[in-house]
Homo-oligomer: A and B are copies of this chain.
């Protein structure tokens, strides 16, 4: 018998925790011991995982996570329904909402086109996007400036432009408070490219 190994349920818990992104085996062990020592926190966590799993679904319009369908944002009459912002992930919606600057609706793709990983248009929420374009005048691409993000933006703009919809892209450039000296070349090139008259 190997006394190095933890009792099976504890080992299983450590394994499950170490599958989370950014949680290595050491952190997983620390978290598991914490959960064993704090049964109430453990119960609350198990319960909220189950509840989130059961109650959170995707909005049938914007595909964002929601507990009501359509989501509160899609139902709001205070938002501009002729303006759609396309993002990769639900957390991007939160990031944009935090600015308080955007007044339109969102559409969450749940990923980007990536032939290398076998993710084509059918794996993304593109069909849902095409199905809600009535009355939409502008679609802002707020996908990330990665190869996959750019590819996705280009693909979508080719689909949407022939339908008479204005397709725009959020600006890339130096972050506010950023320093030219420390910016990478691609960012500086984008900042130059996107320069405006003062």
Query: Which residues of A are interface residues toward B (Cβ below 8 A)?
Result: 1, 3-4, 6-10, 12-13, 15-17, 19-23, 27, 29-37, 39, 41-56, 65-68, 71-73, 76, 89-91, 94, 97-98, 110
Contacts and interface: CB of A to CB of B under 8 A. Distances in A.
B36 A53 contact: yes
A13 B97 contact: no
B3 A76 contact: yes
A65 B48 contact: no
Nearest to A45: B16
Contacts of A3: 72-73, 76, 97
Contact of A65 (B7, B21, B91): B7
B27 A22 contact: yes
B20 A67 contact: no
Contacts of A27: 22
A36 B52 contact: yes
Nearest to A98: B4
Contacts of A39: 53
A54 B9 CA distance: 9
B67 A52 contact: no
Q: Among A13, A22, A54, A97, which residue has the most Cβ atoms of chain B within 10 A?
A: A13
Q: Among A22, A51, A53, A68, which residue has the most Cβ atoms of chain B within 10 A?
A: A53
Given A30-B91, A32-B52, A53-B36, A67 B7 contact: yes
A94 to B, nearest CB: 7
A3 B44 CA distance: 25
A10 B91 CA distance: 11
Contact of A46 (B8, B30, B53): B53
A27 B45 CA distance: 15
